[in-house]
Structure 1
Amino acid sequence: MHRAQVPVHQNLVMISAQNAKACNKGDLDFSLCGHCGFLFNQAFDLSVLSYGDSYDNTQSHSQMFERYMDDLVYDLVENQGVRNCTVVEVGCGKGVFLKKLIGYPGANNQGIGFDPSYVGDAEFFDGKLKFVKQFYDANCAEVSADVVICRHVIEHVPSPLELLQSVRAAISSRSHARIFFETPCVDWILANKVVWDFFYEHCSLFSKDSLSTAFEMTGFHVTDVRHIFEGQYLWLTAVPTTGQHAEFSAAHTVALAQNYKNDEAALLNNLAVLVERLSQNGGVALWGAGAKGATLAYLLDPNAETIAAIVDVNPNKQDKFLPGSGHPIIAPVMLKTMGIQHVILMNPNYRIEIEKQLSELQINVTLHEWSAS
């Protein structure tokens, strides 16, 4: 799959439409490994990215996503036995998830979050939780981690095996350590033909088999890998090993990728027709100013002529502009003010929450979900 000159960032907070349209751009040139099913952007250039203070991919403003994180923490503590442990989170972002885990009542965990772009206080919970503004690598071996967690990081890394090798080196001989990784599932994207789930920041995409292969190749034994978040994400559990690695098949992913490739042009055309029709019959907005919304807006309406606005519940993004296309980002209440009659949902997982918000605001719009079937 090839897309020329797309925005390299989907979650930068842009203060003007002019700055938004002038953001850095790069090519998508996704290739699939027929042996393991790993999908990667071979045109990816890490140097054009800048994850600084203006980058905001916070999802916890959604009550549904907040509950989802709470459920993950509950599972780790109550079902996986993450108690009385030293927990390291690789790429902790703003530390929301790790704060929930270390703050879980009675778990008695302590934690260290590593992220070069972390912004906030260095310590919480009387020093039981610390944040370090650096990458987690082999130089962090002195941190005696019982549990290593890495959520939604590996898809941003152009050399994922190097990341896993660094984690393996950092835990060195601690054979009791457990590893938990979360990442989007490329099989789900391909099977559901979600054209807006391919974007520049996600340069490395995995299926269950390719993710398992990567871990097994780098000194881990995969004990479990399953779909979560209504199938959209993978959750992998592994332990360190010195044994031989298992081999997995890529046949299923290869077949899905071929079907997607055959249909992508028609899918984009049908989406463009839908957006044009809705724009002429009451106006249309997208719900979600994250990676999905930014990608679809740029694909269908790069000059911000058809889609009226992008709705988002994150107050830090409201009254700002979408990277690439420059669409205005609005609070839900502004739908009524702008007279928009149609809203396309970027992620159906949030439908019930969105319907509740609209009802409370007494806003009557038609919600649309895209289906490739």
Structure 2
Amino acid sequence: MSAESTPSRRDKRRRGLKAAAWTAVGIVALGGTGAGYLYVKLNGNIESLDIDQALGADRPEKGDDGSENILVLGSDTRSGDNGKLGGGADGGSARSDAAMIVHVHEGRRKASVVSLPRDTVVDRPECTDTDGGTHPAASGVMFNSAYATGGAACVVKTVESITGLRLDHYLEVDFTGFQKLVDELGGVEVTTSRGIDDPDSHLELEAGTHRLDGRQALGLVRTRHGVGDGSDLGRIQLQQAFVKALVRQAGEVGVFAHPKKLYGLADTATKAVTTDSGLGSVNSLMSFVNGLKDITPANMHMITMPVRYDPANGNRVLVQEAKAEQVWEALRKDDPIPGSVTENTAEGGAKGVVDAA
């Protein structure tokens, strides 16, 4: 085969993404045929919440430029196995360990991702949860408290209050499902520039290239004491690097030639997520995923909301309001986030520890 006819890694990755997306759509289309039971099973796996009803009409306006904002949350909210993972002794408690606003730009070929530190001091607005319970506003509390107070609806309300952005969708992944999904993908490859040893997250890695299984991957995205300054900001930098590696791996699995592999992934993924009601069916979820098939790691711009350390409490961070507003304004206009917004902000010191390339 000549050099001109040899497919590049990028070409293979793009074909893999398209194959995965269209194969998923094909399985959904089988809902009315002999494979209908698979559709019904996958549909029954998905847990969804009517967040729009809980929040009512007092929300930022929807954008009309073709872009979308999705709040992605990583949590250990479900009881059972989650309590055994990542050092969680109180398995039934409601906690969120990762929060990201994923802004999908018009044309769906690139995305801007903004991580929200859980330790950010915020003013939490009054909110209504999806069971109809009302929770009073609170000033000077941790961002993470929104989930513990009123679940997904209160998190969405708080993020919309902080940013002025309308969140079009909500997607939550629990720890158990995350671990199983990574295992189903066959692991995810990352390279560490130095060793990581964090007994709290049960992670021990030497410097070098590793294919992480689900347990190790969960340890990586939860570790904070084994990298950087030991803050949540360092953990966020690891999470961002791992997300890019996960997106790359998902595009290289080759599920088009392996229908059983596709079903295993779909079964695991639909069990792992909780969504807003707009994504609460196999049809809508697969259609949404299919729309993201052209976004590659190279087209994902990932930052952390501009913050500074709280001088009154080293375990908390405060929003750098002027810089943060530049981020939200860019997303409202569907523009790229200015590079200057991350200058002279608290970062965590873990950048470059994990390379997803």
TM, length-normalised to structure 1: 0.23
Bigger helix fraction: 2
Higher-Rg structure is 1
TM, length-normalised to structure 2: 0.24
